[in-house]
Structure 1
Amino acid sequence: MIEARSFCETAKLAGFSLYTGVPCSYVKPFINYVIDAPDLTYIGATNEGDAVAIATGAELGGKRAIVMMQNSGLGNAVSPLTSLNAIFQIPVLLIVTLRGEPGGPHDEPQHELMGQITTQMLELMNVAWDWFPREESEVAGVLEKAFAHMTKTGLPFCLVMKKDSVAPHKLTSKPVARPTVTAPAQAPVADLPKADRPSRQEALRAVQATARPDDVVIATTGFTGRELYACEDRHNQLYVVGSMGCASSIALGLAWAQPNRRIVVLDGDGAMLMRMGALATVGYERPGNLVHVLLDNEAHESTGGQSTVTHSMDLPGVARAAGYPSVETVTTAKELEDKLANRSEGLRFVYLKTRHGVPDDLPRPKVTPREVAGRIRKLTGGAA
Protein backbone atom coordinates (compact mmCIF):
# COMPACT_ATOMS: atom_id res chain seq x y z
CA MET A 1 0.00 0.00 0.00
CA ILE A 2 1.35 3.43 -0.97
CA GLU A 3 0.53 6.98 0.03
CA ALA A 4 -1.35 9.12 -2.49
CA ARG A 5 1.21 11.85 -1.92
CA SER A 6 4.15 9.71 -3.08
CA PHE A 7 2.46 8.85 -6.39
CA CYS A 8 1.15 12.36 -7.08
CA GLU A 9 4.43 14.07 -6.23
CA THR A 10 6.38 11.67 -8.44
CA ALA A 11 3.87 12.12 -11.25
CA LYS A 12 4.15 15.88 -10.89
CA LEU A 13 7.86 15.66 -11.62
CA ALA A 14 6.91 14.06 -14.95
CA GLY A 15 4.57 16.94 -15.75
CA PHE A 16 1.21 15.53 -14.64
CA SER A 17 -0.74 18.38 -13.06
CA LEU A 18 -4.37 17.70 -14.04
CA TYR A 19 -6.49 14.86 -12.70
CA THR A 20 -9.97 14.22 -14.02
CA GLY A 21 -12.43 11.37 -13.87
CA VAL A 22 -15.41 9.81 -12.14
CA PRO A 23 -15.00 8.64 -8.51
CA CYS A 24 -14.54 5.05 -7.37
CA SER A 25 -14.00 4.01 -3.77
CA TYR A 26 -10.64 2.43 -4.71
CA VAL A 27 -9.31 5.72 -6.06
CA LYS A 28 -10.86 7.94 -3.39
CA PRO A 29 -7.50 8.69 -1.67
CA PHE A 30 -6.16 10.10 -4.94
CA ILE A 31 -9.14 12.33 -5.54
CA ASN A 32 -9.05 13.60 -1.96
CA TYR A 33 -5.32 14.30 -2.12
CA VAL A 34 -5.52 16.11 -5.47
CA ILE A 35 -8.48 18.24 -4.37
CA ASP A 36 -6.52 19.27 -1.27
CA ALA A 37 -3.22 19.88 -3.13
CA PRO A 38 -2.76 23.60 -3.99
CA ASP A 39 -0.56 22.86 -7.01
CA LEU A 40 -2.74 20.18 -8.62
CA THR A 41 -6.12 20.42 -10.34
CA TYR A 42 -9.05 18.02 -10.22
CA ILE A 43 -11.92 18.34 -12.71
CA GLY A 44 -14.79 16.03 -11.87
CA ALA A 45 -16.48 14.72 -15.01
CA THR A 46 -20.00 13.35 -15.29
CA ASN A 47 -18.87 10.59 -17.63
CA GLU A 48 -15.61 8.67 -18.03
CA GLY A 49 -15.48 9.39 -21.76
CA ASP A 50 -15.79 13.10 -21.04
CA ALA A 51 -12.87 12.79 -18.61
CA VAL A 52 -10.72 11.22 -21.33
CA ALA A 53 -11.65 14.09 -23.65
CA ILE A 54 -10.85 16.72 -21.01
CA ALA A 55 -7.43 15.15 -20.47
CA THR A 56 -6.91 14.99 -24.22
CA GLY A 57 -7.60 18.70 -24.61
CA ALA A 58 -5.20 19.49 -21.77
CA GLU A 59 -2.46 17.41 -23.43
CA LEU A 60 -2.96 19.29 -26.70
CA GLY A 61 -2.42 22.44 -24.69
CA GLY A 62 0.86 21.23 -23.20
CA LYS A 63 -0.36 19.83 -19.86
CA ARG A 64 -0.12 16.13 -19.01
CA ALA A 65 -3.25 14.67 -17.43
CA ILE A 66 -4.35 11.58 -15.52
CA VAL A 67 -7.81 10.05 -15.91
CA MET A 68 -9.26 8.04 -13.01
CA MET A 69 -12.20 5.69 -13.32
CA GLN A 70 -13.78 2.44 -12.19
CA ASN A 71 -13.37 -0.40 -14.68
CA SER A 72 -17.08 -0.28 -15.43
CA GLY A 73 -16.40 3.19 -16.82
CA LEU A 74 -14.25 1.77 -19.59
CA GLY A 75 -17.48 1.22 -21.48
CA ASN A 76 -18.14 4.96 -21.46
CA ALA A 77 -14.54 5.68 -22.49
CA VAL A 78 -14.30 3.30 -25.47
CA SER A 79 -15.31 5.92 -28.04
CA PRO A 80 -12.69 8.59 -27.24
CA LEU A 81 -9.95 6.04 -26.54
CA THR A 82 -10.44 4.37 -29.92
CA SER A 83 -11.60 7.21 -32.20
CA LEU A 84 -9.85 10.18 -30.60
CA ASN A 85 -6.66 9.28 -28.74
CA ALA A 86 -5.71 6.41 -31.03
CA ILE A 87 -6.14 8.18 -34.37
CA PHE A 88 -4.86 11.60 -33.26
CA GLN A 89 -2.05 9.98 -31.24
CA ILE A 90 -2.76 11.92 -28.07
CA PRO A 91 -1.55 10.16 -24.90
CA VAL A 92 -3.23 10.27 -21.50
CA LEU A 93 -2.46 8.25 -18.40
CA LEU A 94 -5.35 6.13 -17.14
CA ILE A 95 -5.86 4.72 -13.67
CA VAL A 96 -8.59 2.08 -13.88
CA THR A 97 -9.71 0.26 -10.74
CA LEU A 98 -10.21 -3.50 -10.85
CA ARG A 99 -13.62 -4.03 -9.31
CA GLY A 100 -14.75 -7.66 -9.46
CA GLU A 101 -11.18 -8.98 -9.55
CA PRO A 102 -11.23 -12.72 -10.30
CA GLY A 103 -10.22 -14.54 -7.13
CA GLY A 104 -10.05 -11.21 -5.32
CA PRO A 105 -12.14 -9.74 -2.50
CA HIS A 106 -15.90 -10.15 -2.60
CA ASP A 107 -17.58 -7.46 -4.70
CA GLU A 108 -21.01 -6.53 -5.95
CA PRO A 109 -22.50 -8.71 -8.72
CA GLN A 110 -22.49 -5.94 -11.32
CA HIS A 111 -18.68 -5.99 -11.28
CA GLU A 112 -18.25 -9.71 -11.93
CA LEU A 113 -18.03 -9.71 -15.73
CA MET A 114 -16.08 -6.46 -16.03
CA GLY A 115 -13.59 -7.72 -13.49
CA GLN A 116 -12.90 -10.70 -15.74
CA ILE A 117 -12.44 -8.71 -18.96
CA THR A 118 -10.85 -5.39 -17.88
CA THR A 119 -7.33 -6.12 -19.07
CA GLN A 120 -8.66 -7.86 -22.18
CA MET A 121 -10.62 -4.72 -23.07
CA LEU A 122 -7.51 -2.59 -22.71
CA GLU A 123 -5.52 -4.91 -24.94
CA LEU A 124 -8.33 -5.03 -27.48
CA MET A 125 -8.23 -1.22 -27.67
CA ASN A 126 -4.43 -1.30 -28.03
CA VAL A 127 -3.99 0.42 -24.67
CA ALA A 128 -0.80 -0.79 -22.98
CA TRP A 129 -1.14 -1.40 -19.27
CA ASP A 130 0.62 -2.43 -16.07
CA TRP A 131 -0.41 -2.98 -12.47
CA PHE A 132 -0.70 0.08 -10.30
CA PRO A 133 2.19 0.14 -7.77
CA ARG A 134 1.49 -1.23 -4.31
CA GLU A 135 4.94 -0.51 -2.85
CA GLU A 136 6.60 2.88 -2.57
CA SER A 137 9.70 1.52 -4.26
CA GLU A 138 7.67 0.70 -7.38
CA VAL A 139 6.16 4.14 -8.00
CA ALA A 140 9.00 5.78 -9.93
CA GLY A 141 9.62 2.75 -12.14
CA VAL A 142 5.98 2.30 -13.10
CA LEU A 143 5.55 5.98 -13.93
CA GLU A 144 8.79 5.97 -15.93
CA LYS A 145 7.50 3.02 -17.95
CA ALA A 146 4.15 4.73 -18.58
CA PHE A 147 5.75 8.04 -19.53
CA ALA A 148 8.22 6.38 -21.88
CA HIS A 149 5.44 4.48 -23.66
CA MET A 150 3.28 7.60 -24.00
CA THR A 151 6.17 9.65 -25.35
CA LYS A 152 7.31 6.99 -27.82
CA THR A 153 3.90 5.95 -29.18
CA GLY A 154 1.67 8.96 -28.58
CA LEU A 155 -0.90 6.54 -27.14
CA PRO A 156 -2.55 6.18 -23.72
CA PHE A 157 -1.16 3.97 -20.98
CA CYS A 158 -3.22 2.42 -18.19
CA LEU A 159 -2.41 1.47 -14.62
CA VAL A 160 -4.86 -1.12 -13.31
CA MET A 161 -5.44 -0.61 -9.59
CA LYS A 162 -6.38 -3.40 -7.21
CA LYS A 163 -8.22 -2.83 -3.95
CA ASP A 164 -6.27 -1.31 -1.04
CA SER A 165 -3.40 -0.13 -3.22
CA VAL A 166 -3.48 3.37 -1.72
CA ALA A 167 -3.67 4.34 1.93
CA PRO A 168 -6.71 6.40 2.99
CA HIS A 169 -6.45 10.17 2.70
CA LYS A 170 -9.05 12.29 4.45
CA LEU A 171 -10.44 15.16 2.44
CA THR A 172 -10.07 18.49 4.23
CA SER A 173 -11.21 20.87 1.49
CA LYS A 174 -14.82 21.96 1.17
CA PRO A 175 -16.64 22.08 -2.16
CA VAL A 176 -16.39 25.45 -3.85
CA ALA A 177 -19.92 26.41 -4.77
CA ARG A 178 -20.31 28.60 -7.83
CA PRO A 179 -22.73 31.52 -7.61
CA THR A 180 -26.25 30.26 -8.19
CA VAL A 181 -27.13 33.27 -10.34
CA THR A 182 -26.90 32.05 -13.92
CA ALA A 183 -27.26 33.83 -17.22
CA PRO A 184 -30.40 35.95 -17.36
CA ALA A 185 -33.06 34.65 -19.69
CA GLN A 186 -32.94 36.37 -23.07
CA ALA A 187 -36.06 37.98 -24.42
CA PRO A 188 -37.82 35.56 -26.77
CA VAL A 189 -36.23 35.48 -30.21
CA ALA A 190 -38.51 34.79 -33.15
CA ASP A 191 -37.62 31.47 -34.76
CA LEU A 192 -37.13 31.83 -38.49
CA PRO A 193 -38.89 29.45 -40.87
CA LYS A 194 -36.57 26.56 -41.68
CA ALA A 195 -35.99 27.73 -45.25
CA ASP A 196 -34.92 31.18 -44.03
CA ARG A 197 -32.38 29.95 -41.49
CA PRO A 198 -28.71 30.40 -42.39
CA SER A 199 -26.81 27.43 -43.74
CA ARG A 200 -24.14 25.77 -41.66
CA GLN A 201 -21.56 26.97 -44.18
CA GLU A 202 -22.66 30.58 -43.70
CA ALA A 203 -22.36 30.15 -39.94
CA LEU A 204 -18.90 28.62 -40.25
CA ARG A 205 -17.68 31.44 -42.46
CA ALA A 206 -18.90 33.87 -39.81
CA VAL A 207 -16.81 32.01 -37.24
CA GLN A 208 -13.73 32.11 -39.45
CA ALA A 209 -14.24 35.81 -40.10
CA THR A 210 -13.69 36.57 -36.41
CA ALA A 211 -11.11 33.92 -35.49
CA ARG A 212 -7.59 35.16 -34.90
CA PRO A 213 -4.56 33.04 -35.82
CA ASP A 214 -3.80 32.35 -32.16
CA ASP A 215 -7.35 31.18 -31.37
CA VAL A 216 -8.20 27.48 -31.49
CA VAL A 217 -11.43 26.47 -33.25
CA ILE A 218 -12.70 22.96 -32.45
CA ALA A 219 -15.36 21.51 -34.77
CA THR A 220 -17.54 18.60 -33.72
CA THR A 221 -17.68 15.36 -35.67
CA GLY A 222 -19.66 14.99 -38.88
CA PHE A 223 -20.43 17.67 -41.45
CA THR A 224 -19.42 20.53 -39.14
CA GLY A 225 -15.74 19.64 -39.31
CA ARG A 226 -15.87 18.76 -42.99
CA GLU A 227 -17.58 22.02 -43.93
CA LEU A 228 -15.20 24.07 -41.80
CA TYR A 229 -12.32 22.42 -43.65
CA ALA A 230 -14.04 23.10 -46.99
CA CYS A 231 -14.51 26.79 -46.13
CA GLU A 232 -10.77 27.08 -45.46
CA ASP A 233 -8.30 24.77 -43.79
CA ARG A 234 -6.38 26.63 -41.11
CA HIS A 235 -3.58 25.62 -38.78
CA ASN A 236 -5.67 26.51 -35.70
CA GLN A 237 -8.66 24.31 -36.52
CA LEU A 238 -9.24 20.90 -34.91
CA TYR A 239 -11.63 18.57 -36.72
CA VAL A 240 -13.03 16.06 -34.24
CA VAL A 241 -13.60 13.21 -36.68
CA GLY A 242 -14.69 10.69 -34.02
CA SER A 243 -15.70 10.55 -30.35
CA MET A 244 -19.08 12.15 -30.99
CA GLY A 245 -20.13 14.51 -28.22
CA CYS A 246 -16.63 15.07 -26.86
CA ALA A 247 -15.81 18.38 -28.57
CA SER A 248 -16.86 20.58 -25.64
CA SER A 249 -14.87 18.45 -23.18
CA ILE A 250 -11.77 18.65 -25.40
CA ALA A 251 -12.32 22.41 -25.48
CA LEU A 252 -12.59 22.53 -21.69
CA GLY A 253 -9.28 20.73 -21.22
CA LEU A 254 -7.57 22.94 -23.80
CA ALA A 255 -9.05 26.10 -22.27
CA TRP A 256 -7.74 25.04 -18.86
CA ALA A 257 -4.26 24.37 -20.25
CA GLN A 258 -4.18 27.59 -22.31
CA PRO A 259 -6.01 30.19 -20.20
CA ASN A 260 -4.74 33.14 -22.25
CA ARG A 261 -5.91 31.76 -25.59
CA ARG A 262 -9.49 31.93 -26.88
CA ILE A 263 -11.01 28.52 -27.57
CA VAL A 264 -14.12 28.34 -29.78
CA VAL A 265 -15.97 25.02 -29.92
CA LEU A 266 -18.51 24.44 -32.70
CA ASP A 267 -21.03 21.91 -31.45
CA GLY A 268 -24.01 20.19 -33.02
CA ASP A 269 -27.39 19.33 -31.56
CA GLY A 270 -26.98 15.56 -31.91
CA ALA A 271 -23.49 15.65 -30.42
CA MET A 272 -24.56 17.80 -27.50
CA LEU A 273 -27.48 15.52 -26.72
CA MET A 274 -25.18 12.49 -26.71
CA ARG A 275 -23.05 13.86 -23.84
CA MET A 276 -25.22 16.55 -22.31
CA GLY A 277 -23.59 16.00 -18.92
CA ALA A 278 -20.54 17.80 -20.28
CA LEU A 279 -22.50 21.06 -20.08
CA ALA A 280 -22.65 20.70 -16.31
CA THR A 281 -18.87 20.29 -16.06
CA VAL A 282 -18.13 23.19 -18.39
CA GLY A 283 -20.73 25.33 -16.65
CA TYR A 284 -19.17 24.63 -13.27
CA GLU A 285 -15.55 25.13 -14.33
CA ARG A 286 -16.47 28.29 -16.29
CA PRO A 287 -13.24 28.90 -18.19
CA GLY A 288 -13.18 32.56 -19.11
CA ASN A 289 -11.63 31.92 -22.52
CA LEU A 290 -14.16 29.42 -23.91
CA VAL A 291 -16.93 30.24 -26.39
CA HIS A 292 -19.39 27.39 -26.97
CA VAL A 293 -21.28 27.77 -30.25
CA LEU A 294 -24.19 25.42 -30.91
CA LEU A 295 -25.35 25.04 -34.52
CA ASP A 296 -28.73 23.32 -34.30
CA ASN A 297 -30.29 21.96 -37.49
CA GLU A 298 -32.55 19.58 -35.53
CA ALA A 299 -31.10 16.57 -37.33
CA HIS A 300 -28.34 13.98 -37.58
CA GLU A 301 -27.62 15.26 -41.07
CA SER A 302 -24.41 13.37 -41.81
CA THR A 303 -26.16 10.02 -41.26
CA GLY A 304 -29.21 10.70 -43.39
CA GLY A 305 -31.07 13.58 -41.78
CA GLN A 306 -32.81 11.69 -38.99
CA SER A 307 -34.49 14.12 -36.62
CA THR A 308 -33.11 14.93 -33.19
CA VAL A 309 -35.49 16.12 -30.47
CA THR A 310 -34.14 19.67 -30.27
CA HIS A 311 -37.19 21.01 -32.09
CA SER A 312 -38.96 20.37 -28.77
CA MET A 313 -36.19 21.56 -26.42
CA ASP A 314 -34.83 24.79 -25.01
CA LEU A 315 -31.09 24.15 -25.37
CA PRO A 316 -30.11 27.70 -24.40
CA GLY A 317 -32.18 27.11 -21.26
CA VAL A 318 -30.22 23.92 -20.60
CA ALA A 319 -26.93 25.80 -20.88
CA ARG A 320 -28.28 28.52 -18.62
CA ALA A 321 -29.32 25.98 -15.99
CA ALA A 322 -25.91 24.28 -16.24
CA GLY A 323 -24.22 27.49 -15.11
CA TYR A 324 -23.12 29.23 -18.30
CA PRO A 325 -22.96 32.90 -17.26
CA SER A 326 -23.66 34.19 -20.77
CA VAL A 327 -26.25 32.56 -23.05
CA GLU A 328 -27.32 34.25 -26.28
CA THR A 329 -29.53 33.23 -29.19
CA VAL A 330 -28.95 34.60 -32.68
CA THR A 331 -30.87 33.99 -35.89
CA THR A 332 -28.49 35.02 -38.69
CA ALA A 333 -24.88 34.41 -39.61
CA LYS A 334 -24.24 38.15 -39.35
CA GLU A 335 -25.53 38.21 -35.79
CA LEU A 336 -23.27 35.26 -34.99
CA GLU A 337 -20.29 37.09 -36.47
CA ASP A 338 -21.10 40.19 -34.43
CA LYS A 339 -21.31 38.15 -31.22
CA LEU A 340 -17.99 36.43 -31.87
CA ALA A 341 -16.32 39.70 -32.80
CA ASN A 342 -16.94 40.69 -29.19
CA ARG A 343 -13.98 39.16 -27.37
CA SER A 344 -15.18 39.89 -23.86
CA GLU A 345 -13.98 37.48 -21.21
CA GLY A 346 -16.13 34.84 -19.60
CA LEU A 347 -17.64 31.51 -20.59
CA ARG A 348 -20.20 32.08 -23.33
CA PHE A 349 -22.86 30.00 -25.08
CA VAL A 350 -24.13 31.19 -28.47
CA TYR A 351 -27.04 29.36 -30.09
CA LEU A 352 -28.01 29.44 -33.77
CA LYS A 353 -30.54 27.34 -35.66
CA THR A 354 -29.42 26.41 -39.16
CA ARG A 355 -31.20 24.88 -42.12
CA HIS A 356 -30.54 21.50 -43.66
CA GLY A 357 -28.29 21.12 -46.65
CA VAL A 358 -24.71 20.31 -47.54
CA PRO A 359 -22.61 21.78 -50.37
CA ASP A 360 -22.20 19.55 -53.40
CA ASP A 361 -19.06 17.40 -53.47
CA LEU A 362 -18.20 18.23 -49.86
CA PRO A 363 -14.58 17.12 -49.39
CA ARG A 364 -13.14 15.18 -46.51
CA PRO A 365 -10.09 16.71 -44.86
CA LYS A 366 -6.89 15.69 -46.59
CA VAL A 367 -4.89 16.63 -43.51
CA THR A 368 -4.71 13.60 -41.22
CA PRO A 369 -5.84 13.64 -37.58
CA ARG A 370 -2.22 13.25 -36.46
CA GLU A 371 -1.21 16.22 -38.58
CA VAL A 372 -4.10 18.25 -37.17
CA ALA A 373 -3.00 17.40 -33.62
CA GLY A 374 0.57 18.33 -34.52
CA ARG A 375 -0.52 21.74 -35.79
CA ILE A 376 -2.45 22.46 -32.59
CA ARG A 377 0.52 21.36 -30.47
CA LYS A 378 2.80 23.64 -32.45
CA LEU A 379 0.41 26.54 -31.92
CA THR A 380 0.01 25.96 -28.18
CA GLY A 381 3.52 24.77 -27.42
CA GLY A 382 2.17 21.39 -26.34
CA ALA A 383 4.58 18.45 -26.29
CA ALA A 384 4.29 15.86 -29.04
Structure 2
Amino acid sequence: MSEVFSPTPAWQEQIFKVLKEGGIQQVSYVPDAGHAHVIRRVNEDPDMRGIVLTTEEEGVAVASGAWLGGQRHALLMQSSGVGNCINMMSLLQSCRFPFLTLVTMRGEYAEFNPWQVPMSKATQASMELMGIKVYRAERADEVEDIVGAALDFAFEGGEPVAVLLSQRLIGRKKWLRN
Protein backbone atom coordinates (compact mmCIF):
# COMPACT_ATOMS: atom_id res chain seq x y z
CA MET A 1 0.00 0.00 0.00
CA SER A 2 1.12 3.56 -0.57
CA GLU A 3 0.08 6.79 1.05
CA VAL A 4 -1.58 9.57 -0.93
CA PHE A 5 -1.42 13.17 0.26
CA SER A 6 -3.14 16.33 -0.90
CA PRO A 7 -1.36 19.66 -1.45
CA THR A 8 0.35 21.25 1.57
CA PRO A 9 -2.11 23.13 3.78
CA ALA A 10 -1.19 26.75 4.63
CA TRP A 11 -0.99 25.98 8.36
CA GLN A 12 2.03 23.73 7.75
CA GLU A 13 3.90 26.59 6.09
CA GLN A 14 2.85 28.81 9.01
CA ILE A 15 4.53 26.39 11.42
CA PHE A 16 7.78 26.68 9.49
CA LYS A 17 7.46 30.47 9.42
CA VAL A 18 6.94 30.66 13.20
CA LEU A 19 9.94 28.41 13.84
CA LYS A 20 12.14 30.42 11.46
CA GLU A 21 11.07 33.82 12.80
CA GLY A 22 11.35 32.51 16.37
CA GLY A 23 15.05 31.79 15.94
CA ILE A 24 14.87 28.00 15.84
CA GLN A 25 18.19 26.78 14.46
CA GLN A 26 17.89 23.03 15.05
CA VAL A 27 14.92 20.77 14.40
CA SER A 28 15.08 17.10 15.25
CA TYR A 29 12.57 14.50 14.15
CA VAL A 30 11.71 10.91 13.46
CA PRO A 31 10.31 11.08 9.90
CA ASP A 32 6.53 11.56 9.96
CA ALA A 33 4.11 12.35 7.14
CA GLY A 34 2.28 14.92 9.32
CA HIS A 35 5.49 16.93 9.68
CA ALA A 36 6.82 16.26 6.14
CA HIS A 37 6.39 19.83 4.88
CA VAL A 38 8.12 21.42 7.87
CA ILE A 39 10.92 18.84 7.71
CA ARG A 40 11.45 19.53 4.01
CA ARG A 41 11.51 23.31 4.58
CA VAL A 42 13.97 22.99 7.48
CA ASN A 43 16.30 20.83 5.41
CA GLU A 44 16.18 23.36 2.55
CA ASP A 45 17.00 26.32 4.81
CA PRO A 46 20.74 27.05 5.13
CA ASP A 47 20.22 28.70 8.53
CA MET A 48 18.49 25.69 10.07
CA ARG A 49 19.71 22.18 10.74
CA GLY A 50 17.45 19.16 10.47
CA ILE A 51 18.51 16.23 12.63
CA VAL A 52 17.07 12.77 11.93
CA LEU A 53 16.60 10.70 15.07
CA THR A 54 16.40 6.96 15.50
CA THR A 55 13.96 7.38 18.40
CA GLU A 56 12.13 10.37 19.84
CA GLU A 57 13.79 10.51 23.26
CA GLU A 58 17.06 11.41 21.54
CA GLY A 59 15.33 14.67 20.62
CA VAL A 60 14.97 15.67 24.28
CA ALA A 61 18.74 15.30 24.71
CA VAL A 62 19.42 17.15 21.43
CA ALA A 63 17.15 19.99 22.58
CA SER A 64 19.01 20.22 25.89
CA GLY A 65 22.39 20.22 24.17
CA ALA A 66 21.25 22.85 21.68
CA TRP A 67 20.19 25.13 24.53
CA LEU A 68 23.49 24.62 26.36
CA GLY A 69 25.25 25.48 23.08
CA GLY A 70 23.29 28.72 22.69
CA GLN A 71 20.76 27.58 20.06
CA ARG A 72 17.02 27.14 19.98
CA HIS A 73 15.65 23.74 19.03
CA ALA A 74 12.27 22.20 18.22
CA LEU A 75 11.42 18.50 18.34
CA LEU A 76 8.87 17.15 15.84
CA MET A 77 7.24 13.83 16.68
CA GLN A 78 4.08 11.78 16.44
CA SER A 79 1.96 11.00 19.50
CA SER A 80 3.13 7.38 19.42
CA GLY A 81 6.66 8.64 20.15
CA VAL A 82 5.72 10.54 23.32
CA GLY A 83 5.82 7.36 25.39
CA ASN A 84 9.43 6.84 24.33
CA CYS A 85 10.37 10.23 25.82
CA ILE A 86 8.94 10.10 29.33
CA ASN A 87 12.14 9.20 31.18
CA MET A 88 14.22 11.75 29.23
CA MET A 89 11.66 14.47 29.96
CA SER A 90 12.79 14.39 33.59
CA LEU A 91 15.95 16.12 32.33
CA LEU A 92 13.85 19.15 31.37
CA GLN A 93 12.53 19.59 34.91
CA SER A 94 15.78 18.76 36.69
CA CYS A 95 17.85 21.17 34.60
CA ARG A 96 15.11 23.75 33.89
CA PHE A 97 15.70 23.71 30.12
CA PRO A 98 13.27 25.40 27.77
CA PHE A 99 11.74 22.87 25.39
CA LEU A 100 9.43 23.01 22.38
CA THR A 101 7.87 20.00 20.71
CA LEU A 102 5.21 19.77 18.03
CA VAL A 103 3.29 16.50 18.16
CA THR A 104 1.13 15.19 15.34
CA MET A 105 -1.67 13.19 16.89
CA ARG A 106 -2.66 9.70 15.79
CA GLY A 107 -5.27 7.43 17.33
CA GLU A 108 -8.01 10.05 17.17
CA TYR A 109 -10.24 11.12 14.28
CA ALA A 110 -10.75 8.42 11.62
CA GLU A 111 -7.79 6.32 12.81
CA PHE A 112 -7.40 3.03 10.98
CA ASN A 113 -4.49 1.64 13.02
CA PRO A 114 -5.56 0.37 16.48
CA TRP A 115 -1.92 0.40 17.68
CA GLN A 116 -2.02 4.21 17.62
CA VAL A 117 -4.99 4.55 19.99
CA PRO A 118 -3.53 3.75 23.47
CA MET A 119 -0.70 6.31 23.35
CA SER A 120 -3.03 8.86 21.82
CA LYS A 121 -5.27 8.58 24.88
CA ALA A 122 -2.26 9.08 27.18
CA THR A 123 -0.26 11.73 25.29
CA GLN A 124 -1.51 14.93 26.90
CA ALA A 125 -1.72 13.54 30.45
CA SER A 126 1.74 11.97 30.18
CA MET A 127 3.30 15.24 29.13
CA GLU A 128 1.48 17.22 31.80
CA LEU A 129 2.62 14.74 34.46
CA MET A 130 6.20 15.44 33.32
CA GLY A 131 5.68 19.18 33.86
CA ILE A 132 5.19 20.10 30.21
CA LYS A 133 2.59 22.74 29.35
CA VAL A 134 0.34 21.41 26.57
CA TYR A 135 -1.45 23.47 23.93
CA ARG A 136 -3.70 21.85 21.34
CA ALA A 137 -4.46 23.01 17.79
CA GLU A 138 -7.71 21.70 16.36
CA ARG A 139 -8.27 24.14 13.48
CA ALA A 140 -6.02 25.51 10.75
CA ASP A 141 -6.84 29.12 11.63
CA GLU A 142 -5.40 28.77 15.14
CA VAL A 143 -2.13 26.94 14.37
CA GLU A 144 0.09 29.97 13.78
CA ASP A 145 -1.01 31.72 16.98
CA ILE A 146 -0.74 28.59 19.14
CA VAL A 147 2.71 27.60 17.83
CA GLY A 148 3.89 31.21 18.29
CA ALA A 149 2.56 31.30 21.86
CA ALA A 150 4.24 27.97 22.61
CA LEU A 151 7.57 29.17 21.20
CA ASP A 152 7.40 32.30 23.38
CA PHE A 153 6.42 30.27 26.44
CA ALA A 154 9.37 27.95 25.88
CA PHE A 155 12.13 30.40 25.03
CA GLU A 156 10.99 33.63 26.67
CA GLY A 157 9.36 31.96 29.66
CA GLY A 158 11.96 29.20 29.99
CA GLU A 159 9.42 26.40 30.18
CA PRO A 160 8.86 23.04 28.48
CA VAL A 161 5.86 23.16 26.15
CA ALA A 162 4.16 20.91 23.60
CA VAL A 163 1.70 21.67 20.83
CA LEU A 164 -0.56 18.79 19.92
CA LEU A 165 -1.68 19.00 16.30
CA SER A 166 -4.97 17.10 16.19
CA GLN A 167 -5.51 14.26 13.78
CA ARG A 168 -8.57 16.04 12.40
CA LEU A 169 -6.38 19.06 11.58
CA ILE A 170 -3.83 16.86 9.83
CA GLY A 171 -6.57 15.05 7.94
CA ARG A 172 -7.41 11.50 7.12
CA LYS A 173 -4.70 9.33 5.71
CA LYS A 174 -5.74 7.61 2.53
CA TRP A 175 -4.14 4.34 1.51
CA LEU A 176 -4.19 2.85 -1.94
CA ARG A 177 -3.54 -0.79 -2.65
CA ASN A 178 -0.75 -1.33 -5.16
SS in 1 for 2:162: strand
Conserved 8 A contact 1:128-1:158: yes
CA distance in 2, matches of 1:106, 1:36: 31
Counterpart of 1:39 (choices 24, 42, 47) is 47
Amino acid paired to 2:97 = I
Whether 1:49 aligns to 2:57 is: yes
User: Scaled by the length of structure 1, what TM-score is found?
Assistant: 0.39
Residues 1:132 and 2:137 aligned together: yes
Deviation track 1:223-282 (CA, whole Å, cap 9, x = no partner) reads: xxxxxxxxxxxxxxxxxxxxxxxxxxxxxxxxxxxxxxxxxxxxxxxxxxxxxxxxxxxx
Letter in 2 for 1:145: A
Q: Kindly report the root-mean-square deviation, in angstroms, between the aligned alpha carbons of the 2 structures.
A: 2.2
Work out whether residues 20 and 51 of structure 1, in 8 Å CA contact, stay in contact via their aligned partners in 2: yes
| Pairing partner for 2:85 from 73, 77, 81 | 77
Whole-Å Cα distance in 1 between the matches of residues 152 and 14 of structure 2?
20
Give yes or no for the alignment of 1:123 onto 2:128: yes
Deviation at 1:133, TM superposition (A): 6.6
Matched, 1:95 2:99: no
Equivalences for 1:305-320 in 2 at 5 Å?
none
The 8 Å contact of residues 91 and 150 in structure 1, kept in 2 or not, is answered as yes
Higher helix share: 2
Does residue 13 of structure 1 match 2:21?
A: yes
Q: Matched residues in 1 for 2:81 and 2:142: separation? A: 29
More strand by share: 2
Gap change, CA 1:113 and 1:133, over 3 Å in 2 = closer
> What SS does the corresponding residue of 2:167 show, helix, strand or coil?
coil
Structure 1 unaligned blocks of 5 or more: 168-384
Tell me how far 1:100 sits from its aligned partner. 0.2
Give the CA deviation at 1:76: 1.5
Q: Is the 8 A contact 2:138 2:168 kept in 1?
A: no
- SS in structure 1 at match of 2:26: strand
Identity %: 27
Q: Name which structure has the greater RCO, CA cutoff 8 Å, separation 6+.
A: 2
Structure 2: runs of 5+ lacking an equivalent: 1-8, 172-178
**Residue 149 (structure 2) aligns with:** 145
Q: 1:8 to 1:133 in 2, by over 3 A?
A: farther
Task: State the shift of 1:166 in Å.
Answer: 5.9
Asked if 2 retains the 8 angstrom alpha-carbon contact of 1:35 and 1:42, the reply is yes
Q: How does 1:157-306 map to 2 (within 5 A)?
A: 157-163=161-167, 165=169
